Amino acid sequence: MQNIDWERFGPMLTQAAGETLYMVGIAVVVGGFFGLLIGLGLYLTRPGNLLENRLVYTLLNVAINIVRPLPFLIFVVALGPVTRLVVNRIIGIEAFTFAMCVVAAFASARLVEQNLVSIDPGVVEAARAMGASPWRIVRTVLVREALSPLILGYTFLVVGVVDMSALGGFLGAGGLGDLAIVHGYRQFNWSITYVVVAVIVIGVQLVQMVGNWLSRRIAGR
């Protein structure tokens, strides 16, 4: 184990952590938000549901099935032209974060859909019988009834997004993963690698704990 020159490494670690936080935060919030919309769309347009629409349902389904199984790096590359359109460049942290958002959206869409499907359709029926509008049903029945498992799902999403962010070095986006590879692994400095690992593990643990606690609280158990 080598000694760590904290003078030099300290600021590097802070900056990398900040970059990871930025990528992960945006991907979870923005990707998660669109994932919620796509998941709701998928659920609502499902045959027999409130806004049944075979075309929209099929399109969303196909899109998810294309994006999800693709290896992340390959997707980032393939998304290049779209990335350029949206963030005006194809390398750097913004470009990489954009790709992360897209993948996070499709991944969480499936997660949202699965949690909505498990809601008792009788409850939706009851709300409809009480004169609730579809939008009210989405807010007060669907999202609310599925909230506790949804939070667990989103906690899981954070872990997946952290995983993606480790590849940030590929587009020059930096982040903890990049730090561990460039300054740890490639320079045979295992100490640095393990410090980075520790930071990531602790961060993920914290998120997991908060998620579990929130989910339990909302379930009212």
Partner 1 sequence: MSVPIISFRAALKVFPAAGKRPEVRAVDGVTFDILAGEIFGVIGHSGAGKSTLVRLINALEKPTAGSVIVDGIDLGGLSESKLRPMRAGIGMIFQQFNLLQSRTVAGNVAYPLEVAGWPRARRRKRVAELLEYVGLSDKAKARPRQLSGGQRQRVGIARALAASPRILLADEATSALDPETTRDVLELLKRINRELGVTVVVITHAMSLVRHVCDRVAVMAEGKIAEIGDTYSVFTSPSAEVTKRLVETALSDRPSASMLERLRTQHPGRLITVGVHDNAAPASVSPSAEIFGLLRQYNVDATVIYGTITEIGERPFGSLTIEITSDPGNLSAIDRAVNALAAIAPVADHGAVIAALPTFTGRQLLSGLPAAPAIYTPSGEEPQ
Q: What is the distance, to the nearest Å, from the Cα of residue 102 to the centroid of all Cα atoms in its chain?
A: 9
Q: CA angle at residue 164 from 159 to 170, to 5 degrees? A: 155
| Interface characters, 138-177, with partner 1 (x: CB under 8 A) | --xx--xx-xx-----------------------------
Q: Rank residues 71 and 220 by Cβ distance to partner 1 and give the closer one.
A: 220
* Member of 69, 71, 81, 131 binding partner 1 (CB under 8 A): 131
DSSP code at position 28 = I
Contacts (Cβ under 8 Å, ≥6 apart) of 166: 175, 176, 177, 178, 180
Q: Rank residues 123 and 159 by Cβ distance to partner 1 and give the closer one.
A: 123
CB of 126 to partner 1, least distance (A): 4
Q: Rank residues 70 and 218 by Cβ distance to partner 1 and give the closer one.
A: 218
Residues 201-220 that bind partner 1 (CB under 8 A): 218, 220
Q: Is 125 a residue that touches partner 1 (CB under 8 A)?
A: yes
Residues 65-124 that bind partner 1 (CB under 8 A): 120, 122-123
* Member of 14, 58, 65, 133 binding partner 1 (CB under 8 A): 133
Interface positions with partner 1 (CB under 8 A) = 120, 122-123, 125-133, 136, 140-141, 144-145, 147-148, 218, 220
